[in-house]
Amino acid sequence: MLSLDRPFTYELPAELEAGVGSLVRVPFHGRLVRGWVLGPAEEVPARLLTVRGAVTPVRFFDGPTLELLRWVSERYVAPLAAVIARSHPPRVASVEGAFLAEGGGAGLRGGRFADSTRFARLVPSAPPGPPTDSTGRARLVPSAPPGWLLQYRNGASLLEALRGSGGAFVLRPAPEEEVTVALECVGAALERGRGALVLVPEAHPLPATAAALREAFGDAVGMLLGGDRNERYRTWLEVRAGRYACVVGTRPAVFAPVPRLGLVFVSRESHALHREQRAPYYHVRDVALERARILGAVCVASALLPSLETTVVPHVVVEPPDRRWPPVEVVRPGPEGRAPRLISALKGARRGFVFSPVPGYGVARVCRGCGEPAACAACGGLLRLEEGRVRCTVCGADGRCASCGASAFGVARGGAERVEEWARRVASVPVRRIGRGEAPRPPGPSEIVVGGVEVVKDFGPLGLDMVAVLDADLASRRPGLAARERALASWMEAAAWARPGGRVIVQTRHPNDPAVQTLVTGRPERFHRAEAARRAEAGFPVGAPVFRVRGTATLEDELRALHPSTLLVSGLGDESVCLVALDPARVAEFGRAMRALAERGVVSRVEAEPHL
């Protein structure tokens, strides 16, 4: 709870061998609860309760990691205890016991406290470094010969930083080299005995970047990618014990205790899934940058389309010196998306992908029973024909007319199912749609795949004959400040699958739109400028922390007293819901105010960086 977000002081007996990062049992309001040891108390009260015992000998964080966790708590206005709990997998006692019994405990424990009457801060000794051979060099499985980064602008600066210093870099790889340059970055760090952490947005299917790292560096790579509770905790213990020089994982892995960490590599940095969906709602990019700063490591944000947020962070851009982007043809949409040039491309393609972001076969427009415009009887929402059924896109109810209750509708055709239908009639190879619930996959050797954003994954370079982007104009009508950026990122990742001599076709009625032109040129500068101006006009400038706060009727007045950059207020039952944008320098002040208001019962919930 935000209202209890403060430390408490206890006496810690030396015989417990507990210290920073230990999980212990303490008496609290008449019962035993678990707590995290944070360090020494600056002021010791006259009366102290005593820590009753240590739950485990494992230390879950050290001094530098605690500094990072405190930063996350402050930046995202979240209880420190909640941040700590999310920084590692849930503990499984049986797995831990077996691991310790196998002799895997080296590196899991920290130092003791110096006395038993008060806290004494001790930074645990560094865990063992990467596995080494008799010469002391990191044991690596050779990958492809390095050299790609030396051909990139500022690539030499990135390699030099990876060999021993720190800094923030935004990497815009050539489409066919997205995996290769990730391997080169990791290899450069590992060769100097520095650990590497690679963060991917998704675990399934296994990203090509993760698979390539495991193939290149073998047992030196640990995977924090899914699995059950036992598997996740076992792997985390192995990472904590220093068994891996490189760790690949999704969001929670940004806190992984990688030994001698020298590189934090954020793959597909602009992907929406790099933002935590539950409290404390952190974003991997921001936490990675802060962790690299604390440790003096290198942070690399890699993406074909870097997010707008990277533009306001001091960084060095690393990119190819010349155009490496596939040629893009811009055409006006034909009926149901069947532009003549697209039809021609489908006839000649042996392997391709059609990006169709609208699901289903079409949208119900009119009720056949009464002639009224089609609307959901339950909520008035839009009705869509999908997989042979008409359902509401808002509440999911079966389609019934809001006026007469009938279930027969006139349907305006258009969507991925309809695209699959007409594409089958013109293509010379099988056309298959990846539907809801189906595992995403790339096109087969002689196949054209139809799908939306759920199909655009890290499959690596595919060398397709053709990639088509349909309904591009919908991006400007999607709700949300970042909707256009997310759409463009998907287009660019799909376009990167085309082979150098292949075809990329985008259908739009607005060829000069900055998003479309970014797809054509492969350069994001114009789009970033346009989006920055649009967001500033909306009251949410790039880089301004945003919070959604719920509370009582007096919440609006309390927030206005803090002089936010933007304050939007609405109601939800008896609660007020306020959307707040702040100057970055005022986040700490805002957090203190929210904690005080939570203690008074004015604030019930604070959500950082909500999806707008």
Neighbour tally for 42: CB within 10 Å = 8
Nearest to 220 by CA among 143, 140, 142: 140
pLDDT of 376 over the 90 cut: yes
Neighbour tally for 503: CB within 10 Å? 22
Alpha-carbon distance of 550 to 55, in angstroms, equals 36
Are 293 and 468 in contact, with CB atoms under 8 Å apart?
A: no
- From 579, 584, 566, 571, select the one nearest 607 (Cα to Cα): 579
Tell me where in the chain the CATH 3.40.1440.60 domain(s) lie: 2-101
Give the pLDDT confidence score for residue 319 in this predicted structure: 97
Q: How far apart are CA 208 and CA 188, in angstroms?
A: 19
Between strands 351-355 and 447-451, the pairing is parallel
The token duo for 439 is 């595992």
How do residues 311-347 score in pLDDT, each as one tens digit? 999 999 999 999 889 999 999 998 888 999 999 999 9
Separation CA 30–CA 37 (nearest Å): 20
Lowest mean pLDDT among 116-125, 148-157, 298-307, 371-380: 116-125
Q: How far apart are CA 303 and CA 3, in angstroms?
A: 39
Choice between 29 and 138, residue whose per-residue pLDDT is larger: 29
Q: Return the SS3 of 538.
A: helix
CATH number of this structure's domain 149-318, picked from the four choices 3.40.50.300, 3.40.225.10, 3.40.50.410, 3.40.50.1000: 3.40.50.300
- CATH class assigned to 328-360+414-525: alpha beta
Q: Is 510 helix (H, G, I), strand (E, B) or coil?
A: coil
Supply angle C-alpha 68, 181, 496, rounded to 5: 110
Q: What does the block give as tokens for 129? A: 């470094």
Q: What is the pLDDT of residues 39-59, one digit of tens each?
A: 888 788 888 889 999 999 999
Q: pLDDT band at 132, cuts 50/70/90?
A: very low
Neighbours of 71 (CB within 10 A): 18
All CATH 3.40.50.300 domain ranges in the chain, comma separated: 149-318, 328-360+414-525
DSSP sequence for 129-176: -S-B-TTS-B-----SPP-TGGGSBTHHHHHHHHTT--EEEEE---GG
**CA–CA dist 200, 428 (Å, integer):** 36
Q: What is the pLDDT of residues 480-524, one digit of tens each?
A: 889 999 999 999 999 999 998 899 999 999 999 999 999 999 999
Torsion of CA 448, 449, 452, 453, to 10 degrees: -100
Predicted local confidence at residue 106, as pLDDT: 65
AA identity, residue 500: P
Specify the domain boundaries for CATH 3.30.70.120 within the chain: 546-608
Q: Is the peptide bond before 340 cis (omega within 30 degrees of 0)?
A: no
What pLDDT sits at residue 612? 65
Beta bridge partners of 548: 579, 607
Q: Which residues, at least 6 apart from 190, have a Cβ–Cβ distance to it below 8 Å?
A: 130, 138, 140, 196, 217, 220, 245, 246
**Tokens linked to 64:** 């530098």
Question: In whole angstroms, what is the distance from residue 605 CA to residue 2 CA?
Answer: 8
> Does pLDDT of 428 surpass 90?
yes
SS (H, E, C) 246-296: EEEECHHHHHCCCCCEEEEEEECCCCHHHECCCCCCCEHHHHHHHHHHHHC
CA separation for the pair 129, 114 (Å, rounded): 27
* Average pLDDT of span 379-396: 93
Cα angle 94, 99, 100 (rounded to 5 degrees) comes to 100
Is 351:448 a contact under the CB 8 Å cutoff? yes
Which position has the token pair 């990135």? 158
> Tens of pLDDT along 103-130?
876 666 654 443 333 332 222 222 333 3
- Three-class SS of residue 222? strand
**In angstroms, rounded to a whole number, what is the distance separating the alpha carbons of residues 128 and 459?**
34
% of the chain residues with pLDDT over 70: 93
What is the identity of the amino acid at 147? G
Tell me whether strands 31-36 and 167-171 are parallel, antiparallel or unpaired.
Answer: unpaired
pLDDT tens across 163-187, in order? 989 999 999 999 999 999 999 999 9
Residue 316 host element (H or E): strand 316-318
Q: Which CATH superfamily is domain 2-101 in?
A: PriA, 3(prime) DNA-binding domain (3.40.1440.60)
Rg (CA), the chain: 27
Copy the structure tokens of residue 92.
Answer: 């499984």
More confident residue, 484 or 572: 484
Report the distance separating Cα 329 and Cα 508, nearest Å. 10
Cα angle, residue 258 at apex, residues 256 and 263 outer, rounded to 5°: 100
Strands 221-224 and 328-331: unpaired
Coil, helix or strand for 430? Answer: coil
- The span from the CA of 249 to the CA of 251, in Å, is 7
For residue 120, the model assigns a pLDDT of 26
- CATH, range 546-608: 3.30.70.120
Owner of token pair 């933007």: 566
